[in-house]
Homo-oligomer: A and B are copies of this chain.
Amino acid sequence: MIIGVADTTFARANMGAFAIDELKRHTSARIVRVTVPGVKDLPVAAKKLIEEEKCDIVMALGMPGGKDQDKVCAHEASQGIMMAQLMTNRHIIEVFVHEDEAKNDAELAWLLEQRTREHAVNVVLMLTRPQEMTKLSGTGQRQGFADAGPARK
């Protein structure tokens, strides 16, 4: 079992290092890492991890900026990640933190780490115990900020 981790030099925290640290707490799977300039370079990087490095699943980690043009770039990156999954029949878990989700640099640093770690746990569950995911169906899980919980209490 091989897990791919792709991150960027654009992001403002070492998301790949957080992911690898968290993955190692939950699995002994081999991890392959690659770093690209920005979020739009992640889709092909993830696809290469799957097809050339034989990864079973990939984490695509990025921090889109807060400007309008950055939102468009994030959308293009997400569309690419979607297509890469469909072309390979492998999950690529997108972990994006938009810079303007955080009130300040301290919260941004916290969120970049927290969301990455929570998604890393998902990745391990999906790969090794998918039935655990189904137990969580419809429970309003969120990654980073607090969970929303179910609508009917």
Contact = CB atoms under 8 A, between A and B. Distances in A.
A3 B57 CA distance: 25
Interface string A73-96: 101111111111111011111100
A94 B73 CA distance: 11
* Copies per complex of this chain: 5
Interface in A127-153: 130, 133-134, 136-143, 148-153
- Range of interface residues on A (Cβ < 8 Å): 35 or more
Contact of A126 (B36, B86, B108): B36
Interface in A95-147: 98, 105-106, 108-109, 112, 119, 122, 126, 130, 133-134, 136-143
Interface of A: 7-17, 33-37, 40-41, 43-45, 47-48, 51-52, 69, 71-73, 75-87, 89-94, 98, 105-106, 108-109, 112, 119, 122, 126, 130, 133-134, 136-143, 148-153
6 contacts: A35-B130, A35-B137, A37-B133, A40-B94, A76-B78, A79-B82
